[in-house]
Amino acid sequence: MLKIKRVVAACILLATSLAMWAQNNTNSPYTRYGYGELADRSFGAGRAMGGVGYGLRSNKQINPMNPASYTAVDSLTFIFDFGIAGQLSWFDDGINKEHKMNGNIEYIALLFPVHRRIAISAGLLPYSHVGYDYGAIKDSEGVPYVERFTGKGGLNELYGGLSIDIWKKRLSVGANASYLFGSINHNQTLGISSSGSSTSYRMKELEVRDYKLDFGVQYTHPLSAKESVTLGITYSPKKKLNTTSYDILGTSNSNVVTGDTTTNHAFEIPHSIGSGISYVKQNKLTLAADFLYENWGDARFFNQANEFKNRIRVAGGGEFIPGYMNRAYFSRVRYRAGLHYSNSYLRINNSSYNEYGASIGLGLPLIDNRSYVNLSFEYVKIKPETRSLIDQQHFRFTVNFTFNERWFYKFKVD
């Protein structure tokens, strides 16, 4: 037990250090718009099951998608969780094809009880990602020039959550309070190749420092001694963000730089409603489905309304354990699979895109059969609504470590 605790402590230090130097885990031209690519908030099992989580309730993993789930942990358990993600991407604009690879420490989180009916969770996870680098050689009245666009950054959430079991392990409520922070940088350069010409540039940056709230409810109805159904609902209110934005223009052969710094532009994130249902046959089978609605159409960006469109996401998946108490290792492995669909919240030249994904994964138990190494593999297809937009495909893989320890158990020695 002491060895596992040392491993957990080492992982905390490692994850914290690497997170400070983490690279972008996306390289999509679509992240040039809005807040970038919205992050998947599911951990471990949920990630391999299509990204479900609103109705999932387990004493073996952390589920920040619904803070009401925290009270599923028993009164003797401490859980530490962190994930590492990687992504291979392919891009096709109808003329050119390209591929990229990215990787990152994705999240860290912990969960522990403070009372037999109260549990607390805290962690750091992404809200959005920005990362792109593309350009082209163009021609204007016989004069060739090079135009290049680059961007990086994203928003992150440092959250603390509380969950209360208000009725016999059947009805739980919870809330997450998050500090939303980060910066998004966009750069555009224009260079003319003729002699004596200069390169002009434009740098735009958005800094966010604010809080956000998420609320959740879960109700579990037992069907038998080993079977149950859980219903979950979450709500996140609309939020005007405390931001500072920069817009700087300049040229390479001039000392004249013009720019604007402002804190009064309106930037908002929308209210959202999530709902989910899960069926669990204890230590054998889990089936779950989710639905998410985000009202991005009413959220302002640089003071402008109608910059975004409303977003929905639907997902479903399952987990199967052949033999939980079997001595054969692969009988105790958790086998997972799922599907998801969502539309983008972005408006890009009066168009947008849809996202389709399929995932599979494994939950590999460690020696104590309480802690797990979770592997998930996901294929995502980005399908634009018009041919003028870029077709994308992603292969995402996540390694997730869940350490589940009985830290509060008192051993008796005869």
CATH of residue 250's domain is 2.40.160.60
- Of 392 and 196, more confident: 392
Is 57 within 8 Å of 69 (Cβ atoms)? yes
Residue 413 lies in a domain: no
Residue 23 lies in a domain: yes
Locus of tokens 């604010």 = 210
- How do residues 160-181 score in pLDDT, each as one tens digit? 999 999 998 899 999 999 999 9
Residue 220 lies in a domain: yes
- How do residues 91-118 score in pLDDT, each as one tens digit? 988 788 888 888 888 899 999 999 989 9
pLDDT at 140 over 70: no
Q: How many beta carbons lie within 10 A of that of residue 143, not counting itself?
A: 11
- How do residues 251-280 score in pLDDT, each as one tens digit? 766 555 555 666 667 899 999 999 999 999
**What's the mean pLDDT in 133-149?**
76
Confidence category of residue 158, pLDDT binned at 50, 70, 90: very high
Residues 275, 246: Cα–Cα separation, whole Å: 38
Portion of the chain with pLDDT greater than 90, in percent: 62
Confidence category of residue 2, pLDDT binned at 50, 70, 90: very low
Residue 414 lies in a domain: no
pLDDT at 147 over 90: no
- How do residues 32-74 score in pLDDT, each as one tens digit? 999 999 998 898 889 999 999 999 999 989 999 999 999 999 8
Residues 397, 402: Cα–Cα separation, whole Å: 16
Q: Please report the pLDDT score of residue 392 as a whole number.
A: 93
Give residue 383's identity as a one-letter amino acid code: K
Residues 141, 153: Cα–Cα separation, whole Å: 36
Residue 411 lies in a domain: no
Cα–Cα distances (Å) from 355 to 123, 276, 348, 380, 414, in that order, read: 27, 20, 15, 7, 60
Q: Please report the pLDDT score of residue 255 as a whole number.
A: 56
Average pLDDT in the chain: 87
Is 124 within 8 Å of 141 (Cβ atoms)? no
pLDDT at 142 over 80: no
Is 252 within 8 Å of 274 (Cβ atoms)? no
Residue 358 lies in a domain: yes
Q: How many beta carbons lie within 10 A of that of residue 314, not counting itself?
A: 14
The Cα angle at residue 244 between residues 42 and 303, in degrees rounded to 5: 85
pLDDT at 18 over 80: no
Residue 154 lies in a domain: yes
Q: Please report the pLDDT score of residue 410 as a whole number.
A: 54
Confidence category of residue 79, pLDDT binned at 50, 70, 90: very high
Q: How many beta carbons lie within 10 A of that of residue 2, not counting itself?
A: 6
Q: 289 is in which domain, residue-wise?
A: 2-405
Residue 412 lies in a domain: no
**What's the mean pLDDT in 375-384?**
95
Is 145 within 8 Å of 191 (Cβ atoms)? yes
- How do residues 214-232 score in pLDDT, each as one tens digit? 999 999 999 999 999 999 9
- How do residues 318-362 score in pLDDT, each as one tens digit? 999 999 888 899 999 999 999 999 999 999 888 899 999 999 999
Single pTM value for the model: 0.88
User: Which residues have C-beta within 8 Å of that of residue 403, sequence separation ≥ 6?
Assistant: 4, 7, 8, 11, 79, 80, 81, 371
pLDDT at 414 over 80: no
Residues 37, 104: Cα–Cα separation, whole Å: 15
**What's the mean pLDDT in 9-16?**
50
* Token duo for residue 300: 């302002």
Q: Which among 361, 273, 319 has a CA at the least distance from the CA of 66?
A: 273
Domain count for the chain = 1
Cα–Cα distances (Å) from 179 to 121, 174, 182, 270, in that order, read: 14, 17, 10, 16
pLDDT at 413 over 60: no
